[in-house]
Amino acid sequence: MRTLNAAAILCSVAVAFSATASSGTISKETYKSEKDRISADYKSGKEMCDKLTGNPKDICVAKVKGSKDVAETELDAQMNPGPKADYEVLIARAEADYSVAREQCDAREGDARDQCQRAARQALDSAKADAKVELSHETD
C-alpha cells in the first residue's frame, strides 16, 4: 500500500513539474517563481520518498530528481526557446528515464539485472540518437 501511495504522489509531483512545459518565452519574474516552485515540489517529493526504505526509496528519489531535472530544463527552454533547448529537454527526459530504469534493475539479481541494465542503456542511447535526429531536422 505504501508503494501505491508513493506512486500516486509521484504522479502528482510529475504533473506539477510538467506544468512548466508550455511554449513561448517567459518573464524573469515568472522564471524565478517557477524555479522556486520546482524546488519546493522537489523537496516535498523527496520527503515522501524518505518514508520509504530500500530499493523503492531509491526508485522514488530517482523519479523525483528526474522530474525536477526535466522541469528545470523545460523552464530553461521556455526562457530561451529554440532547437538546442528542445534537444536539451529530450536529453533530460531520456536521462531521467534511464536513472529510474537503473534503480528498477537493482531490484533484480544476476543475469536478469545485467539484461535489465543493458536494456536501460540501449533505451538511453536510442533516445539520445533520436534527439540528435530531431535536432538536425529542426536546424535544417
pLDDT tens for 57-113 read 999 999 999 999 999 999 999 999 999 999 999 999 999 999 999 999 999 999 999
User: What grid cell was written down for 92?
Assistant: 533530460
Do residues 52 and 6 make contact, with C-beta atoms less than 8 angstroms apart? Answer: yes
Do residues 75 and 38 make contact, with C-beta atoms less than 8 angstroms apart? Answer: yes
Per-residue pLDDT tens over the stretch 123-137? 999 999 999 998 888
- pLDDT the model gives residue 140: 67
Domain limits, the chain: 2-139
Do residues 138 and 101 make contact, with C-beta atoms less than 8 angstroms apart? Answer: no
- pLDDT the model gives residue 138: 74
- pLDDT the model gives residue 19: 44
Give the residue carrying C-alpha cell 518573464: 27
SS (H, E, C) 86-98: HHHHHHHHHHHHH
Per-residue pLDDT tens over the stretch 1-52? 454 444 444 444 444 444 444 446 788 999 999 999 999 999 999 999 999 9
